[in-house]
Amino acid sequence: RFDVSWDYSNDIAKQLKNWLDPCGTNETTIEGYDPNTITADEDAALQYAGYISSDFCGSKVSQDLLLRNRGNFNLTTATISYGFDGNMQQYNWTGNLLAGENETILLDSVVLSNGNHSFRAFIVSTNLANDTNFVNDTASLSATINNGVNVEVALTTNYYGSENTFQIIDYVNNTLIDDQGPFGIMDSYNNSFCLPEGGYCITLTDDGGDGLAPAFFVDQGNYMLNVNGEELYNTDAIGDGVSTCFKYYGGVFYSDTSAVVDTTGILDVNIFNNFILYPNPSNGVINIKSTERINEMDIYNVAGVKVYAQQFNEKQISILTTHLSKGMYLVKVHTDKGVGVKKLVIE
């Protein structure tokens, strides 16, 4: 309360009066200022309308702009120059903005490399020939781009938070984030990671095997996983654990749980899981047993490149893998009932 704290303490450093009225004017009101007040007949203004932080995780960056009419006369045309790192383009806008109105101009996103980048946009001309306020005609920013995939993890434990651990490994089994946890009762773990291009598996384990279900009248926990803004998990039903694997290359996210990458991009499929792949890891041969006849089997590396393809008409097959380098692969099995995918590690 201002009336109590104004001069309440004998220590002037703790008085609001000393901070808000150091000159002793005894003013009790001040005139406010509306930054959107129209002060000119002709005044077009430009702002950056996209999202980019000073340390940005990702590669596709918005170039959207906000065009505002800060004058009394209608704004109907504008030519705008814009671009990153001096690679400028022009956009010719037409419309009808009344005084105080604005419009978001949606422009193509750009893919940027790692490192420092700068964006600049400015109004070249408008129908307002007497607009002499050039201060608000330009929008600019600088940012450092980390060309990677943004992973966000939000975990709330139940009564047995000590059973939960969290880990991130890459496709050649290098551990990036190791054994976060165990956690406390109704503990909260929120973190984000900017991972470079590559393939990853994110694993949340529950040693008790009961997931994050309620226990001892304590509310259930929850596990939420977002990758580049795509929600992959939001549940308490994790059993003894859940592992999510994905790839990120060239600004494109590929989820191994729902799609397979081929040389033309993502191929949506009817999922078929009734087959086993062994031994895995393998150092020379793999065997596949299926409940349905296998029509074709393909192997992809983590870059989505097909490194092996063979047609079959059998429920059980064996393949030599001595030609494959060490690392993680995806094995795609085609049957009449659908297509199945399993991860394969070559040692």
Q: Is residue 340 over pLDDT 90? A: no
Rounded CA-CA distance 173/245 in Å is 12
Give, for 17, the enclosing helix (H) or strand (E): helix 16-20
Provide mean pLDDT across the span 83-90: 94
Rounded CA-CA distance 135/194 in Å is 36
Candidate ranges 7-16, 213-222, 336-345; pick with highest mean pLDDT: 336-345
| Confidence at 136, pLDDT banded by 50, 70, 90 | very high
Among the listed residues 140, 143, 152, the one whose alpha carbon sits nearest the alpha carbon of residue 61: 143
pLDDT (0 to 100) of residue 258:
36
pLDDT (0 to 100) of residue 76:
97
Q: Which two tokens stand for residue 307?
A: 């490194």
Provide mean pLDDT across the span 92-103: 96
Peptide bond into 281 cis (omega under 30): yes
Q: Is residue 329 over pLDDT 60? A: yes
Provide the residue count of the chain.
347
Residues 202-213 pLDDT 10s: 888 888 777 787
* 22-31, 70-79, 259-268: range with lowest mean pLDDT: 259-268
Domains and CATH numbers, the chain: 1-32 (no CATH), 44-146 (2.60.40.10), 149-252 (2.60.40), 263-346 (2.60.40.3080)
Candidate ranges 110-114, 205-209, 331-335; pick with highest mean pLDDT: 331-335
pLDDT (0 to 100) of residue 268:
39
| Confidence at 263, pLDDT banded by 50, 70, 90 | very low
pLDDT (0 to 100) of residue 37:
81
pLDDT (0 to 100) of residue 173:
67
Rounded CA-CA distance 168/178 in Å is 7
> How high is the mean pLDDT of the chain?
82
Candidate ranges 66-80, 161-175, 325-339; pick with highest mean pLDDT: 66-80
Which amino acid, 71? G
Rounded CA-CA distance 216/142 in Å is 52
The reported pTM is 0.49
Provide mean pLDDT across the span 35-52: 88
* 41-55, 60-74, 215-229, 317-331: range with lowest mean pLDDT: 215-229
pLDDT (0 to 100) of residue 262:
34
Rounded CA-CA distance 301/108 in Å is 31
Higher per-residue confidence, 34 vs 124: 124
pLDDT (0 to 100) of residue 259:
34
Q: Which two tokens stand for residue 73?
A: 């006369």
Listed in sequence order, the residues at least 6 apart from 65 whose beta carbon sits closer than 8 Å to its beta carbon are 46, 47, 48, 49, 80, 82, 104, 105, 107, 121, 139
Pairing of strands 188-196, 230-235: unpaired
Q: Is residue 216 over pLDDT 80? A: no
Provide mean pLDDT across the span 54-60: 67
pLDDT (0 to 100) of residue 302:
64
Rounded CA-CA distance 198/246 in Å is 9
Q: Is residue 59 over pLDDT 90? A: no
Rounded CA-CA distance 287/92 in Å is 61
Burial bucket for residue 78 (CB in 10 Å: 0-12, 13-18, 19+): buried
Rounded CA-CA distance 210/227 in Å is 25
Provide mean pLDDT across the span 114-141: 93
Rounded CA-CA distance 113/101 in Å is 36
Q: Is residue 269 over pLDDT 50? A: no
pLDDT (0 to 100) of residue 118:
92
Q: Which two tokens stand for residue 281?
A: 């890891």
End-to-end Cα distance, the chain: 69
pLDDT (0 to 100) of residue 166:
85
Residue percentage of the chain with pLDDT more than 70: 87
Q: How far is CA 76 from CA 82, 100, 107, in A?
A: 19, 13, 19
